[in-house]
Amino acid sequence: MTTTVVPTPAVLVAADRPARGRRLRTALSTLHLLALTAVCLVLGLPTDRLSVLLWVLTGLACRCPGRGRRAAVQLLVDWVPLGAVLLVYDASRGLADTLGAPVHVAEPAAVDAAVFGVVPTVWLQANVAVPGWLAVVVTLVYSSHFVVTPLLLAGLWLRDRARWRRFAAMVVGLSLAGLVTYVLYPAAPPWLAARQGVIGEVHRHSGDGWAELGLPRAGALLHAGQGSVNPVAAVPSLHTAFAVLVCLVGLTLVRRRWQRVLLVAYAVAMPVALVWSGEHYVVDTVLGALYAGAVFLGVTLVVPVLGQAAGRARGRVSGAGVSVTSTTSRG
């Protein structure tokens, strides 16, 4: 005779907790995504650092219910210091051109002219007619700078915190490298040089696509954000730098060919969009790519080697301490 064991109510409740946690996380994440979508449709992609960080943190918080208090604590421990560093970077970047270094307006344009025979931004805007759909692509590529890196950080934090720490170090390192350069070499972008009569006619087209999409308020929001930052922080192009960094890190994560092609296409599309839209010279974008490559190699190759060397040094010191103690005991 088979005896059927009927679970007690307490066992049933315990067994149901993971399922309830999953359902709650799914519901909260869905509501969060709907809210973000609504904001993007009305106002466009968020572009200021604080708004982006808040959206990312609230999205990650939606993945914490049912996983215990430790998950929420870990979220705060990991992200609050990183967010604080990036916010301080944004604030200091806006002050970088007030520290006494002369603003370079003609030199970046002269480099482009020496290499290409013309200033590519001026030539492109004068000779290449851009249809509305391409203006939308340019705006979306340009605006993606503000969200792609935080989204990759969020994805890595959820799946692989070791990779997240390395990528976070790259983000901070690249931001600081850019800040130091802005302080030492403030430089005007093409649209500002054109206003000062240094180069031919150039307009700032990076936000034109929002009007094509019927989202003029999104364009106004983007222009307001652009107006609140340092206008002479053009060298290097951190838009290009972060696109290249995302590409390099992404290539270590993906396996499919189409994913690799998409990453490379993104890294190429960003500088093309920046040059055409009047945001950067070609030389700015090349320097941005070089900065990204240097930071990627530094964190990927140099930092582990330094860590291993420090570990060996600590081991030798510990071994020496043990040896001294042992000899003293024998004496």
Query: How would you class 218 by CB atoms within 10 Å of its CB: exposed for 0-12, middle for 13-18, buried for 19 or more?
Result: buried
Mean pLDDT for 167-178 is 92
pLDDT at 125 over 70: yes
In this prediction the pTM is: 0.81
- Residue 329 has what pLDDT? 41
- pLDDT band for 14, please (50, 70, 90 cuts): very low
Name, in order, each residue with C-beta under 8 angstroms of 10's C-beta and a sequence gap of 6 or more: none
Mean pLDDT for 116-135 is 88
Cis amide bond preceding 236, omega within 30: yes
- pLDDT band for 283, please (50, 70, 90 cuts): very high
- Residue 118 has what pLDDT? 92
Cα–Cα distance, 182 to 139 (Å, whole number): 24
pLDDT at 13 over 50: no
Could you give the percent of the chain with pLDDT greater than 90? Answer: 30
pLDDT at 210 over 80: no
- Residue 236 has what pLDDT? 92
pLDDT at 42 over 70: yes
Q: CA neighbours within 13 Å on the CB side: how many for 212? A: 16
Question: What are the tens digits of pLDDT across the range 198-208?
Answer: 898 888 888 88
Mean pLDDT for 295-299 is 93
Mean pLDDT for 185-201 is 89
Mean pLDDT for 171-185 is 89
Q: Per residue in 50-75, is it b (16+ CB within 10 Å) or e — as a string?
A: ebbbebbbebbbbbbbeeeeeeeeeb
